[in-house]
Amino acid sequence: MSKYRKVLVDPFRTLRHGTFAKLFISQTASLAGSSFTWLGLALLAYQLDPERSAIILATTLTLRVAAYILFSPFAGVVSEQFKRKNILWVTQAIRVVTLFLLFLINSEYQLYLLVFLMNVAAAFFTPTYRAIIPQVVPRDEYREANGFSMATFQLLSVFGPALAGVFALWFGAQQLFLISAVLMTIGIAVVLTIPGQELQGGVVTAKVTFRGGWQSVVKGVRLLFGNKILRFALSIEFISAIAGALVLVNTVGWVKSSLHQDDSGYGLVMALFGVGAAITAFLIGSLDKSKTRALSLIGGALLVGVSISFANFVSFNGLLVLWVFAGIGQTLADLPSETLIGENIHADDQAKVYGSHFAFSHLWWFIGYPFAGFLGTAFPDRSFLYGGILTIALAILAVVVFKPRVRS
């Protein structure tokens, strides 16, 4: 088998492991359901108040991130008190119930409450799922397994909303929540077929008091920031969030107002951004075998920074090319953190650290979104240029401060 053929085949070999394959199917169903959910929420926000729909949707996104920041650090503590299998299916069941309740709401405050509850459940589900992966695949296949999961996430983030839009035309906006509930129920059914003990690798079950639980959360944060490799990866993830927020917040206005394209043009730009990210996530585990992943991290931060720096000065076709490279850079800068935790943290502590990482990675976006909005408002014709320059400068600063080992 040639080197290049091996790169293409490696990600699929992880599906030979039955437990991971079932988890992957469950997560894929859940992610597909989430795609339908968020398009449905956007349409529901418009139905509740057409004139304030943007504010309503922005508030729901803020509540989503806030739920992750507040509750995901406790995911590791919860995983030590309850069976991981139960955590996975119960949190998904809570999300299914909230989806059905969305049929009954008639005010934006009810929407806020349900969205917050839905994402509190996700704040426990996702870190638990991520902590399981390194326990159910061989160590030498972990990067491929994680990359395969993230590639699926990126692809569904691109094509999921488009598919949901087609269903919305056929069945109506609120029926999207029913489809989401069905998909997530499929995910629950798959999880229930997995023997519970197969998901308990690396878990030390112990009764924890409130004080002990808080100490466990603090330990997760300390381990995350105490490891030099993870500390550098997290700093690059912050830089990536700044750049990514600029792409997500300001692309629509630039494409439609400055480049005079319609909704389909905006959709094409963002699709290519997602495709670049997905292809990179699919291959990165096989392309970079280093211990620190520093080359991927540094290269990704610089690539996304350079890509967005030129966005204010190119045609629509030029932006299409730049956004492919921006998607590649985004994944190179983001994805290594996931695998580095599994490789550098003892199995007993991984759930704690994954929970802390999930919280801080979303905190970075919580900072990035308003910053991108400020640049887009204050400097509409130079927002990408200034954001790109800042991204490059911060990447250089991170290298100088943390002095990562590129070869290891």
* pLDDT recorded at residue 1: 42
If you average pLDDT over every residue of the chain, what do you get? 81
First to last CA, the chain: 26
What is the rounded average pLDDT of the residues 230-254? 88
> Nearest Cα to 95, choosing from 186, 184, 160, 161?
184
- Does residue 33 carry a pLDDT above 90? no
pLDDT tens digit sequence for 364-395: 988 888 888 888 888 989 999 999 999 999 99
Q: Find where tokens 């401060």 sit.
A: 401
pTM of the model: 0.72
What is the rounded average pLDDT of the residues 338-363? 79
Give the whole-angstrom CA distance, residue 233 versus residue 394.
13
Q: What domains sit in the chain, N to C, each tagged with a CATH number?
A: 9-194 (1.20.1250.20), 206-402 (1.20.1250.20)
pLDDT tens digit sequence for 34-75: 888 877 787 787 778 877 765 777 678 778 888 888 888 777
**Alpha carbon 177 to its chain's center:** 21
Query: Would you tell me how many other CB atoms lie within 10 Å of the CB of residue 407?
Result: 8
> Nearest Cα to 268, choosing from 280, 251, 282?
251
Give the whole-angstrom CA distance, residue 70 versus residue 169.
36
- Does residue 320 carry a pLDDT above 70? yes
